[in-house]
Structure 1
């Protein structure tokens, strides 16, 4: 029997080894390949939103992944989620945005849901997704969205410690107000590992492991 193939589309090369390790852990026997384009998120940040031309490029990458033999496609960037959903309707294989399984899990866990991000272009689509997935599940939720202003700029300027400290402070504060927290960006997950257990008052969800565990169920 021919092994199944997972195509991963990234907007940062830093996520390739993260997802490769997760695939090794949870998807043994599944072949993978990666498509990376840094400019997608850079263009979104410059324009302040996901524009039609950027969405069109995402669609081309999804189509290319299908043409390359993917049996399932995972897009690992939340900022282009709306384009991923639009592309899925035009593709003959399943296409998943990385934050959907995380949103579904959060809706199952609690009513008061917090979403945290360092970029508004990521915070808005993830918050919107959570609300829509709650509606699909027939659950009423109270959504709190938090933007760590300045944290992304600190990270881009090379001050990772400042970024991590700002995110950690925001996580501690938000955890006193909600039942579960979603990290809108996978890059924030490492901050959770630095928190004391006493500061982790509620579950803090990161999309990469939850998405790959979901795929493990789909690709058997």
Structure 2
């Protein structure tokens, strides 16, 4: 029985979440769905444009006919660009849907008022800022966003080390912040390279824990 369905827009996330499962949640059963074209469309036409395709995909995958277990398998969406759209589809799916960065955003607004957001992809900045404001729930927060120049090109070229190094360098250059948020799940490895004393938050570990908790709560 699948405990959690993970929707990715890049295959690089699969081993990351498998490793987190093995380390922190042994025995949990994950199923991975990788659909890069959803991010391509969201970048070209806006996140709202993927809603019909995403709804059909998740309706088929969260409880595919003939599979064991109850319907409504929880879904964790690891792409920050389309996370809000995916969450909005939960009522239609009859299953909980969680964007991977929501637990991280909740932790960020608890950590301090001045939040710096780093992203390698411009389409991620607005959804992340909106999520932080939502999690702040009216509390005063100052959100500054930073696009890490040249990072996404390295990611697309498969230069993971170069990608993470650029993100870490950008984090080290942040000033006047209480907490730094790494907006994309693919950036998580940069947290260990940062030398700044400012806390750096990433989404995969808390996101996976929260996603698996959805099954326990069901």
- Superposition map of 1:23-172 within 5 A: 23-45=21-43, 47=44, 49-52=46-49, 54-68=50-64, 69-135=71-137, 138-172=138-172
Give CA deviations for 1:153-181 in whole Å, capped at 9, x if unaligned: 2332455554334322210122x321111
- TM-score normalised per structure 1: 0.85
CA–CA separation in structure 2 for the residues paired with 1:66 and 1:84? 12
CA–CA separation in structure 2 for the residues paired with 1:161 and 1:19? 18
CA–CA separation in structure 1 for the residues paired with 2:42 and 2:118? 18
Matched length? 210
Q: Secondary structure at the match of 1:78?
A: coil
CA–CA separation in structure 2 for the residues paired with 1:161 and 1:95? 31
In the alignment, is residue 10 of structure 1 matched against residue 8 of structure 2? yes
Give CA deviations for 1:40-99 in whole Å, capped at 9, x if unaligned: 112333x162242x2221222221232234531111111112211221231212110111
Query: Are 2:9 and 2:35, in contact at CA under 8 Å, matched by a contact in 1?
Result: yes
Give CA deviations for 1:179-202 in whole Å, capped at 9, x if unaligned: 11111112212222223xxx2312
- TM-score normalised per structure 2: 0.86
Shifted more, 68-77 versus 120-129: the winner is 68-77
Query: Are 2:4 and 2:211, in contact at CA under 8 Å, matched by a contact in 1?
Result: no
> Counterpart in 1 of 2:210?
214
CA–CA separation in structure 2 for the residues paired with 1:35 and 1:58? 12
Q: 1:156 to 1:26 in 2, by over 3 A?
A: same
Structure 2 gaps, min length 5? 65-70
CA–CA separation in structure 1 for the residues paired with 2:151 and 2:10? 18
Structure 1 gaps, min length 5? none
In the alignment, is residue 191 of structure 1 matched against residue 151 of structure 2? no
CA–CA separation in structure 1 for the residues paired with 2:32 and 2:159? 28
Q: 1:48 to 1:118 in 2, by over 3 A?
A: farther
* RMSD over equivalenced CA pairs, Å: 2.1
